[in-house]
Structure 1
Amino acid sequence: MTANNPPRGGVVNDERAQWAWEKVGEAYRQDVKVQKRYSSLVRRLPSMLQTSGLGQTMAFLFSQSKFGESNVGDQAEGSRLLYRHLAERFGVVGDNDGRGRAMDKITNMSPQDYRLESRKLQAVAEWLKRFGEGRLQTEE
């Protein structure tokens, strides 16, 4: 391994880290209460994905986002933000209108794609957790 030949997966890992940094930065620009909710969720995200799986984790975030309500609180806004970020990660852009396009995609994935996306999201979740712990307000 030399400076010209990074370790295998290095570029992918760098891209994941950069993406996570940008998303945590977006959360950082939100109201402090939204930051706290987002921070709380990203701290738990790796273990949620590990124990409950991709589908259950996204369903939890979808339900917490209260898409059917027009005037939601900071808790729901933090959940919406993370749900939208994770949906973007596997190719569903703009799923913040409550239609559940990300959930449609997850439930229609082949088992192989589901496992692949779960592993990818697990790696990203670790970056989100690290950056969130260092950059965002936390709940007391």
Structure 2
Amino acid sequence: MVNQSIHLVESGRAKFAYDMVKQLMKNNNSKKEEVRSYIKRLPLMIQTNGLGQALAFYYSKEKEHQDIYKVISTWFSPKEKHTFITIDEELIYAITKMNRSTYRMITNEVIELLIWMRRFADGYMKRSGGSQ
């Protein structure tokens, strides 16, 4: 039962990441390379500065950064059925109120989501003729 739930979360996360990266690349057609770069940088920023600081930075920026923040925020929305945690308020605000164990769990989940997003962004760039 637990393994089945984990598999459902992982496959749901992969599908969500694929759909969102496809949409991000389409919406930012002239800036695909930047979007890919911002996706790839975020896990290191999270590990270096913490989830709250990294997401606050993306939240405060414009266009591509904020688009990536919105994707992460959407993953935790009550509409998504493939995540262990749902957040029905602004993500950055919810993070400020979390206890340590929830914060760590959310951090791990965001990094797992970003790993999938990075894979799909790399694949998208290869298929569209972008550099690697």
Q: Could you state the TM-score of these two structures normalised by the residue count of structure 2?
A: 0.76
Cα deviation, 1:65-101, whole Å, max 9, x if unaligned, reads 2xxxxxxxxxxx11121011111122288xxxxxx92
The two structures have a TM-score, normalised by structure 1, of 0.72
Within 2, Cα distance between the matches of 1:7 and 1:89?
A: 20
Letter in 2 for 1:79: H
Aligned partner of 2:85 in structure 1 is none
* Contact 2:25-2:35 at 8 Å conserved across structures: no
Displacement of 1:130 in angstroms is 0.7
- Structure number with higher helix proportion: 2
Residue of structure 2 equivalent to 1:19: 16
1:20–1:131 contact (8 Å) kept in structure 2 = yes
Q: 1:24 to 1:107 in 2, by over 3 A?
A: same
Whether 1:54 aligns to 2:55 is no
1:33 to 13, 27, 30: 30
Matches within 5 A, 1:102-113: 102-113=91-102
Structural mapping, 1:125-136, within 5 Å:
125-136=114-125
Give the greater-gyration-radius structure (CA).
Answer: 1
Kept after mapping to 2: 8 A contact 1:40/1:139: no
Unmatched 5+ stretches in structure 1:
1-5, 66-76, 94-99
Percent identity over the alignment is 25
Confirm or deny that 1:89 pairs with 2:82.
no
Cα shift at 1:117: 0.6
Flag as ranges the 4+ runs of structure 1 deviating above 6 A.
none
CA contact (8 A) 2:60 2:66 kept: no
Alignment of 1:1-16 (within 5 A): 9-16=6-13
| Stretch of structure 1 that moved more, 18-27 or 48-57 | 48-57
Task: Tell me, in whole angstroms, the C-alpha distance in 2 between the residues paired with 1:131 and 1:102.
Answer: 24
Post-superposition offset of 1:7: 7.2
Q: How many residues align?
A: 118
Distance across 1 between alignment mates of 2:112 and 2:41 = 14
CA apart distance, 1:23: 0.6
Measure the CA separation in 1 of the matches of 2:106 and 2:17.
Answer: 16
